[in-house]
Structure 1
Amino acid sequence: MIRIHLSRLLGENKEKIADLIRATGLSRNTVTGLYRETTARVDLDTLNTICKHYDCAIADILEYQRDEISQLSDKSKTMV
C-alpha cells in the first residue's frame, strides 16, 4: 500500500489545503484526493509541483508500506 503524507507536510508547514492550491495552482480535487489518500493515480507533474513547493523529496510525500495480507503470507512461508 502506498501512503501519502501530504497532510503531514501541510501540518508541519502550518498550511491549509487552500494555501497549497493558491501557491501551486493545483486543482482542489487533486490536492484533496492526496490529502485524504483517496486518489488512485498521481501525476508526475503534481509530485514535482509539491516537491518544489515544500523543497522536499518524493520520499517525503510517498511511502510504500506492505499490506497486512502480504505480511501474514510472508510469515506463514517462513514458518514452514
Structure 2
Amino acid sequence: MIKCHLSRMMGERRLKISDVARDTGLNRGTLTRLYHETAERVELDVLDTLCAYFDCQVSDIFEFNPNLVPKGENTSP
C-alpha cells in the first residue's frame, strides 16, 4: 500500500489545507483527498508542485509499504 505523508508534513509546519491550496494554486479537493489518504490517483503536476512547495522529494511525500492494509479493507476471511 502507498502511504501519503502530506498530513504529517503539513502538521509539522502548522499548515492547513486552505494554506497549501492558496499558496500553491492546487485544488482543495485534491489536497483533501491526499491529506486523508483517499486519493486513488495523483497527477504528476500536483506532485511537482507539492515537492517544490515543501522542498522535498516524492519519496518524502509517499512511501510504499507492502505490509500496510488500505483503509476500509478487512483482512479477515
In the superposition, the TM-score normalised over structure 1's length comes to 0.82
* Pairing of 1:16-55 with structure 2 (within 5 A): 16-55=16-55
Matched residues, number = 69
Question: Percent of aligned positions with the same letter in both sequences?
Answer: 49
**Which is further off, 11-20 or 59-68?**
59-68
Please report how far the alpha carbon of residue 12 of structure 1 lies from its aligned counterpart in structure 2 after TM superposition.
1.0
Aligned residue in 2 for 1:8: 8
| SS of corresponding position for 1:20 | helix
Distance 1:68 1:52, change over 3 A: closer
Quote the Cα distance in structure 1 between the aligned partners of 2:68 and 2:52: 33
Please report how far the alpha carbon of residue 68 of structure 1 lies from its aligned counterpart in structure 2 after TM superposition.
5.5
Please report how far the alpha carbon of residue 13 of structure 1 lies from its aligned counterpart in structure 2 after TM superposition.
1.1
Give runs of ≥4 in structure 1 deviating > 3 Å.
none
Distance 1:19 1:68, change over 3 A: closer
Quote the Cα distance in structure 1 between the aligned partners of 2:16 and 2:26: 13
Bigger helix fraction: 1
